[in-house]
Structure formats: C-alpha cells, structure tokens
C-alpha cells in the first residue's frame, strides 16, 4: 500500500526547525543576553560610584561662600579699608533651558541691557559649566524681590551674599592701598595666578596686589538640596570660609591727611618716610581715582575717561614717575665733589652762567663768588656746571648709583621704576654711541639724561643726612607677616634695599648745614618753620630748553621739586614733593613744610602728653548698603 504524500505545511515546518538554524538562533540569543549582562555589570557594579556622584549632583548644589578680605589699618589701628555686606546675582548655566528666551525678562528685572548680559555670558563661555556667572553686584532689594518672585520661570538666577570692599572716599590714599577686581584673562595665563578661576576677585594694585594672598582668605561652600526646578529645599552641610588676615600699614593717618590736603588740586606726588626704618608715613599721587568703582563693575564710560586722562590717574607717581630731578640732584653732586676732594676749595664767580665746549649754559641769577657752603642754599647752576665738568660722568654715576639713583628701592608696591643714571657704559649700551664730554654739564644740575622718582630722591637725600645709612622703604610692618612671606616679598620686589655708603663726617656736616641755610636764607626761605630744624633742597626741572615767564602752555612750565627733612642730621622724617608744572621748587617747598609741621606738632603733643583730636575714618559709606559693623563714620 503506497504511503500518502506529506502535506506541504508539514514540510515547511520541518524546514524551519532544522537543527542548524535552531542552534544559530540559540547562539544569537545567548550573545544578546551576554551583552545585556555585561552592560548591567558595568552600570551597576563597575560604574556604581561614578553614577552615584552624578545622581547626587542632580539634587545637590554647591554654593560658594566667599571669604571676606582682611581689613587694612594705619599704624595706630585706625581703619583705612573695611568690608560691607552685599548681595550679588549669579547665572547658573546648568539650569538654563532657553537662555535667549529668558534674557529680556532678566534684563528688565535686573536693569541690565540684554547686550551686556550676552557679553558677560560670552566672557565665561570657556569656564566650566558648573561655575556660576556673576551678572550684577550690589543688587537692590527690589532686584532681590524680582529674583525670588520668578524662581519657577528663572531657575538659573541665584543670589549670593558676600563682603565687598569699602575704600576711603575721594581717592584717599588710592595709589598706596590699590583696589580689587576680577582676575583678567591675561592674569590667568600667568603661573602666579594658577589657582584662580574666572570671576575670582584679586588685588589689582597697591597693597591689595602685593599682599593679596594674605588679605584674600580662603573661600568656603554650602551644599544645598534642590528639586528638579533648581529650587532650594534643604541643607546638607557647609565648609566655613576663612577670613583674610588684617594688615597694619606703616602709614600715619594724620600725616597722610596733611599730605592729601597739601596736594589737593595739583598734579604730582608726595611721599613721607622715616629714614631710621624705611617706614612710609604718607604717600599721595595726583590725580587720583576712586577704588570703590573698581571693586564693582567699572562702566565703560568711566574706564575710558581714566585711560584718556593725560595726567594718568592710575600712575602712582611716587614710585613710577621718571623725571629729571632738577637741582635736588645738587646734593648728590655736592657729596661726590666733597668725597673726591674736588669741592672743598672750589670757588666759582657766577655771572649768570658759564661757557663749556663752545656753548653758554645759563644760571638764573648773577650769584657772584660761590663756594660749596653757599652753592646749595643759592642753588647756583654755574657752580655745579663747573663741578660736573671736573668730576666727569662716571664719577658722578658712581656716587649717584651708590645712593640708589637709577635703581629700584625695593619698596613693597608693584611696578616701581628704576629711573636713569647715565654713564659712559650706559650710553653705549642703550644708544650705541660714545659719551660726549659736554653732556655732563646738564647732568650736574639734575637735567639731561638723569631721571628719578620721588621715593628714590627721598631715600637718597635722607641717606646722606643719616651719614650714609639707607633703608629699604616699606608699607607693611615686617611683624605683620611671617618670615617666609618677608623673604617672598624681598624676592618679588628686588632693589638696592638696606645699605650703607661711606661718607666723611666733615662732608656730612657741610652738606646738612648748607641744606639748613636753604630754608633760612636760600631758595626755600619762604617755607621756613620757626623753632623747627627744617632743612632741604629745592629743584626746578625744565621740560624744554628755556622757559617763558607767564606762559600758560604746560609744556613750557617746569616741574617743581623739593626734598626736606627734620632734623638736619639723622632725620626722623623726610618728605619728597613733585609738583608737575609747579614752576619754581620753592612752591613745592611750601607743601613739604606743611607735612614737616604736621609731624613735628604731633610729636610734641605726644611728648607733652597733650590729647590729640580724634581723626575720623576716611572710609566712605557704600552707595547702596550700610557699612559693616564697627566702621567709623566718614569725616564730613
């Protein structure tokens, strides 16, 4: 009996369930299961810790707690720089859903142009996404209320309480103290600022810059629990901020205020120093600026007005002006002539000038017969032309550089200049030309190629009056900082530092006695202080060849210099005054006399135990916030 044929659907089923194909399907399923198992192992075992951190970050926000900077006091503990509480608004980029759509509302609520917000965001585009972007500092109560009322619509806005800098008003001691501001992109490229991030506030000039690492403290943080909308719902913990260290400066507020008043309305600089220690008692540079503007966001208009000011308000002229010292240099010339034995018996008949190398060099007056004893008080150019010609440039340079001219003093302030003391080698190195004998004539009266700063002249002339002992000028008491920090400061600000030059006692006496005659019968007689051993030397430094009497063109009006001290030997205070376009040096002598008189008057009151009137703090009240607790009221 023949078998019936197998139905087609049965053959098809047998073909589908063929062993080879079934095994292949099993292998594929096993491979898929292995891949899934490996993925689960990687996620749940190998990467568990990493994903746990990411999960925590989704619900925890780390908010910085900014450390208040250390306060700054004068030598008697009177406050110069304080802090005050402030609130700033930051943008959290991690919370932004549609930045462009939110900008108009943010602009209206914070009173910031949309373009400014966009520029700020672009400035921080290379910073990590988790880093908040500062949008506005010192926000008003109305602006704080706006942020709170729009938490749901604008979760990217956050407020941060911080301590902001409060500086003296009207630019009081601005160049000395300096200011703080955001670290710039150029600064971030400097290894010195390797630990800073965009948006960090750092000292940008003066004491604030030099001692930034001491003043700035260490920031802390708070861990906040936030929901999916970025709204704060709880606290986890905090790392406390460490406040910066307070600093006591060598500045005497009474002397500083006298110097500020003396230089009011003028262009130039004034510095007062204790020659025994190098402590700076006062420092003023004019014109000045308001550091409070820099501690916030300086407007473009204000910044442009500062940059285009021809009198350079940001320049600290006490340490950065490099100008011809005029006749103040004659004290150094006198020392060189006496130490070389060339000036003791030298007599010159001054008939309004003298001829050297075929050129006639003028003197302001016909002084008649002049010797070393009256050459200083009369400030006779003819005498010093002749002395310079006898000594030669290299001998003059030897004594001038020995006293620190053409070198930094090493003062603990940024950007001090060196000045210039010419010599044969100097000209060949800088100009690739030989030195001509006739060039020394102008150097003999502090003109020509020689330039100096007020701090250099104060230190050099007080060093002569102290018998050759020169001290490194400084703003902060060494006892305020550690030995390691002292060494770092000395390395950062190299200069001629503490030194002693050899001066014959006889020559020392001749020079200081002649300086005393300057304020009695000489060029500074109008600044004589009765009952005070006030000595000094004036200087009138021409800016162009010749001068026109009564000219109103500043380019033709000389700079007026004065360096004075009390007492005449081993002085307790020295003051250097530069009045740009002040014409005659006796005008600056009158300003210097004000500082000497203020100092002596105070010392006499202290000696007789007379109560000294309390000087109100010069610290200004902030425009939008009250001063921090303990701040003395500003003087009216």
DSSP at 452: B
Question: Tokens in use for 337?
Answer: 């002539």
Is the domain of 421 the same as that of 337?
yes
- 344 within a domain of the structure (yes/no): yes
pLDDT at 13: 52
Question: Tokens in use for 276?
Answer: 């025994």
Q: What is the dihedral of CA 227, 230, 232, 233, to 10 degrees?
A: -10
Rounded to an integer, what distance in angstroms lies between the CA atom of residue 356 and that of residue 389?
8
Is the domain of 146 the same as that of 279?
no
Q: Which domain holds residue 74?
A: 62-102+121-248
pLDDT at 579: 98
User: How do beta strands 559-566 and 573-579 pair?
Assistant: antiparallel
For Cα atoms 60, 62, 65, give the angle at the middle one, nearest 5 degrees.
150
- 3 within a domain of the structure (yes/no): no
Mean pLDDT, the chain cut into blocks of 10 residues (636 residues total): 53 58 76 81 68 57 80 96 90 73 90 88 77 84 91 84 89 95 75 71 93 90 66 72 94 98 97 98 96 74 82 95 97 98 96 96 95 97 98 98 97 96 97 95 96 98 96 96 92 92 96 97 96 97 65 80 97 98 95 98 89 69 46 34
The kind and range of the H/E element at 120 are helix 114-123
pLDDT at 231: 61
Is the domain of 478 the same as that of 377?
yes
- CA-CA-CA-CA torsion sign (292, 298, 299, 302): positive
pLDDT at 440: 97
Rounded to an integer, what distance in angstroms lies between the CA atom of residue 234 and that of residue 338?
80
Is the domain of 508 the same as that of 579?
yes
Question: Tokens in use for 496?
Answer: 């001629």
Q: At what angle do helices 393-402 and 330-339 cross, to 10 degrees?
A: 110
pLDDT at 8: 56
Q: What is the DSSP string of 392-410?
A: -HHHHHHHHHHTTTTS---
CA-closest candidate to residue 465, choices 563, 586, 598, 589? 563
Domain boundary among 248, 264, 279: 248
pLDDT at 93: 78
- 53 within a domain of the structure (yes/no): no
- 460 within a domain of the structure (yes/no): yes
- Residue pair 618/257 in contact (Cβ under 8 Å)? The answer is yes
b/e map 577-600, b = 16+ CB within 10 Å = bbbbbbbbbbbbbbbbbbbbbbbb
pLDDT at 635: 33
Is the domain of 381 the same as that of 345?
yes
- Residue pair 511/338 in contact (Cβ under 8 Å)? The answer is yes
Question: Tokens in use for 351?
Answer: 């008939």
- 294 within a domain of the structure (yes/no): yes
pLDDT at 247: 97
Is the domain of 417 the same as that of 297?
yes
Q: What is the pLDDT of residues 178-218, one digit of tens each?
A: 999 877 767 777 777 767 776 678 899 999 999 999 999 88
Q: Count structural domains, the chain.
A: 2
């Amino acid at each position: 009996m023949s078998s019936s044929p197998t139905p087609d659907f049965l053959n098809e089923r047998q073909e589908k369930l063929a062993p080879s194909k079934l095994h292949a399907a099993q292998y594929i399923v096993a491979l898929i299961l292995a891949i899934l198992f490996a993925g689960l192992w990687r996620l749940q075992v190998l990467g568990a810790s990493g994903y746990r951190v990411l999960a925590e970050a989704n619900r925890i926000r780390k908010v910085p707690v900014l450390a208040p900077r250390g306060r700054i006091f004068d030598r008697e503990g009177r406050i110069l720089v304080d802090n005050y509480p402030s609130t700033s608004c930051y943008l959290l980029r991690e919370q932004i859903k549609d930045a462009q759509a939110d900008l108009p509302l943010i602009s209206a609520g914070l009173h910031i142009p949309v373009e400014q917000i966009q520029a700020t965001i672009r400035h921080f585009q290379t910073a990590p996404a988790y880093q908040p972007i500062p949008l506005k500092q010192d926000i008003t109560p109305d602006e704080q209320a706006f942020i709170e009322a729009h938490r749901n619509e604008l979760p990217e806005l956050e407020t941060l309480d911080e301590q902001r800098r409060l500086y003296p008003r009207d630019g009081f001691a601005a160049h000395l103290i300096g200011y703080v501001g955001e670290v710039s992109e150029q600064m971030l490229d400097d290894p010195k600022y390797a630990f800073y991030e965009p948006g960090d506030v750092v000292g940008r000039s003066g004491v604030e810059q030099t001692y930034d690492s001491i003043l700035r403290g260490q920031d802390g943080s708070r861990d906040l629990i936030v929901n999916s909308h970025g709204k704060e719902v709880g606290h986890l913990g905090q790392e406390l901020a460490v406040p910066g260290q307070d600093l006591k400066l060598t500045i005497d507020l009474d002397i500083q205020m006298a110097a500020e008043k003396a230089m009011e309305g003028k262009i130039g600089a004034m510095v007062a120093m204790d020659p025994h220690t190098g402590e700076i008692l006062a420092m003023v540079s004019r014109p000045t600026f308001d550091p409070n503007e820099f501690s916030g966001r300086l407007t473009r208009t204000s910044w442009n007005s500062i940059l285009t000011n021809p009198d350079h308000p940001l320049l600290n002229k006490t340490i950065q002006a490099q100008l011809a010292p005029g006749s103040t240099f004659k004290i150094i010339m006198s020392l060189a002539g006496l130490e070389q034995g060339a000036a003791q018996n030298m007599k010159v008949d001054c008939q309004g000038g003298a001829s050297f190398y075929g050129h006639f060099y003028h003197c302001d007056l016909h002084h008649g017969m002049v010797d070393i004893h009256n050459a200083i008080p009369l400030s006779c150019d003819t005498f010093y032309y002749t002395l310079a010609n006898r000594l030669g440039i290299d001998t003059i340079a030897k004594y001038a550089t020995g006293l620190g001219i053409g070198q930094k003093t090493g003062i603990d302030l940024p950007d001090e200049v060196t000045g210039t003391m010419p010599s044969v080698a100097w000209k060949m190195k800088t100009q690739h030309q030989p030195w001509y004998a006739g060039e020394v004539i102008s150097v003999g009266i502090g003109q020509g190629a020689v330039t100096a700063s007020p701090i250099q002249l104060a230190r050099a002339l007080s060093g002569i009056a102290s018998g050759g002992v020169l001290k490194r000028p400084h703003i902060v008491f060494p006892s305020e900082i550690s030995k390691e920090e002292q060494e770092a400061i000395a390395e950062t600000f190299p200069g001629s530092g503490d030194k002693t030059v050899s001066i014959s006692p006889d020559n020392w006496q001749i020079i200081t006695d002649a300086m005393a005659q300057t304020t009695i019968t000489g060029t500074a007689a109008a600044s004589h202080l009765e009952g005070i051993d006030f000595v000094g030397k004036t200087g009138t430094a021409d800016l162009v060849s010749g001068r026109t009497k009564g000219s109103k063109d500043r380019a033709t009006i000389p700079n007026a210099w004065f360096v004075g001290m009390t007492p005449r030997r081993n002085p307790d205070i020295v003051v250097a005054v530069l009045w740009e376009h002040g014409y005659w040096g006796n005008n600056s002598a009158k300003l210097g006399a004000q500082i000497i008189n203020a100092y002596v008057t105070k010392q006499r009151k202290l000696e007789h135990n007379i109560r000294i009137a309390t000087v109100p703090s010069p610290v200004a009240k902030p425009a939008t916030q009250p001063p921090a607790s303990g701040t003395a009221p500003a003087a009216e």
